[in-house]
Amino acid sequence: MTSESSPPATNQVLTIPNQITAVRLLLSIAVFITIGMQYFTIAVLLFVVAASTDWIDGFWARKYGAVSKLGRVFDPFVDKIIICGSFIYLCAEPSSQIAPWMAVVVVGRELLVTALRSSIEQSGGDFSANMSGKLKMVFQCAAVVASLLVLRKGEAAPKWLVTTTWGLVWIAVLSTIQSGLVYVVAAARFWQQPALEGEADG
């Protein structure tokens, strides 16, 4: 992930962080395939590996000065593929506790934030991930894991697991909406700055 303290990005492509991110992309594709084939035990294991190794590429890039321009785009792109793809595939499963509209909210939020980030950073502003965005990612991952565990158990899923999954899914959706609003407000404040400065100069 990018941050204000990130070292200057290089033009290198085959860095170790980028290779790790590429592996996570392959793992996410494997997650989608296994969900589609209803191999939920394998799907949950693959998802946990893909999601839990997200920090490794960023840590490696910062620690060893391997931050690249490709990585700054590739890493968040793969994060979005893993989460959006999982929600899309899971909403097709009736017992997943994830409704189609919830997947639309998740995908829509990511498209909106990506568009805002692109516009602001092209204007020279900083639009790094904030705490609400990071918490949103945690809740989304927890919801996906819980949903896969419910599907793995099938009709034998205990009531507490189903209830917990329902709660996690709603927390994930609400945090997705909340974090999206935070970014919208931040973008609005950024766009208002030139106007305010112009008024002060006048």
Distance between first and last Cα of the chain = 39
CB of 107 closer than 8 Å to CB of 87? yes
In angstroms, rounded to a whole number, what is the distance separating the alpha carbons of residues 166 and 146? 9
The residues, ordered by sequence, that sit 6+ positions from 136 with a Cβ below 8 Å of its Cβ are 172, 175, 176, 178, 179
Contacts 24+ apart (CB under 8 A), 129-138: 129/1, 129/2, 129/3, 129/76, 130/179, 130/182, 130/183, 130/186, 132/175, 132/178, 132/179, 132/182, 133/179, 133/182, 133/183, 135/175, 135/179, 136/172, 136/175, 136/176, 136/178, 136/179, 137/79, 137/83
The domains found in the chain, sorted by start residue, are 16-201 (1.20.120.1760)
* Chain length of the chain: 202
Q: For each of the chain's 202 residues, which pLDDT tens digit applies? A: 344 444 555 556 567 777 888 899 999 999 999 999 999 999 999 999 998 887 776 665 566 555 666 667 778 889 899 999 999 999 999 999 999 999 999 999 999 988 888 888 777 766 666 788 889 999 999 999 999 999 999 999 999 999 999 999 999 999 999 999 998 988 888 888 765 444 444 4
